[in-house]
Amino acid sequence: MEIINFLSSHADLKLDASFKDITTIKLGGPIKYLVSPFDMNRLKVIVSFLKEYAIPFKVVGRGSNLVCGSKTYEGCVILLEHINHYHFEDDNLIYVESGMVIPRLCNTLAKLGYSGLEFASGIPGNLGGLVYMNAGAYKKEMSDIVKEVLVLEDGEFRWLKKEECEFSYRHSIFHERRDVIILAAKLKLEKKPSDDIKELIADRLARRRATQPLDKPSCGSCFKNPDGDFAWRLIDGVGMRGYCYNGIEVSNKHPNFIVNTGHAKGEDFVATLNLVKAKVLDKYGINLREEVEIFNC
């Protein structure tokens, strides 16, 4: 009861939540504690409390890149949905907090005439998740516009310069430093006519709808593209397009998407993921690297 009272005094608390509720692929088991801290300072207090009581915890954004197992997570999942503010620091530099939903931010920036984030307009994540993954599309990625990142580390707030984040293809230093929580970032944008930005966003979204299975729960692209090739081509080449297993399907529309067609489990997703990897390795000698995160599985 002490834990429940403490958490509920600093955050919205749910005790009957599931990873199915907070991931875009709609997979995963029950969560013991699900909290949404009211602000950064409350987050800091909660993290300190959880560490003191040796309660495991995981920070989750929009869950758009996360696949979870069906067993109960006996810890605390932290959402940053209330940490979602933004403001301009000068004409072209914007401060954005981790919980800001990217499509919403893109539309806001388009109306204001700020360009630079259009490539991410169709990614159903939040700012923190995109920085963590150095997410990208259309030959652009977050490291092209990120200047600084605000983190919570060892109980303190600190700013990291872009160079300290060690961005690379779909990777950042935060993959290794899991104890560091991304709270906000400063993005460098440029002014352009609002109509031009809106037109580009509309074009990007139309291309996504035409080529990706957006009608089914998924976590987006499952594998990183190997050097000089495309993951979807390799998956297609081993005959896995359209493969189905226990409600999990390698998409007919885009084979680098593995979708949930029914009452699947995270374990079914992982089994399919591993089968795809094994077939590609056997035929092409290429070890595909996952873009998705597997957790509690």
The CA distance from 1 to 220, in Å, is 39
Q: Please, are residues 269 and 27 in contact by the beta-carbon 8 Å criterion?
A: yes
3-state class (DSSP) for residue 84: coil
* Alpha-carbon distance values, 33 to 50, 111, 286 (Å): 11, 38, 40
Q: How many CB atoms lie within 10 A of CB 187?
A: 24
Return the amino acid letter for 71.
K
**Nearest Cα residue to 289 out of 224, 231, 219:** 224
**Nearest Cα residue to 292 out of 248, 253, 252:** 248
Q: How is residue 18 annotated by DSSP? A: E
* Alpha-carbon distance values, 150 to 11, 82, 92, 161 (Å): 21, 16, 18, 9
**Nearest Cα residue to 237 out of 290, 281, 268, 289:** 281
List the structure tokens of 30. Answer: 């029950």
Catalytic residues: 170, 221, 291
Q: How many CB atoms lie within 10 A of CB 123?
A: 24
Quick one: 253 exposed, middle or buried, by C-beta within 10 A (0-12, 13-18, 19+)? middle
The CA distance from 73 to 46, in Å, is 18
The CA distance from 196 to 92, in Å, is 17
Helix (H) or strand (E) holding 156: strand 156-161
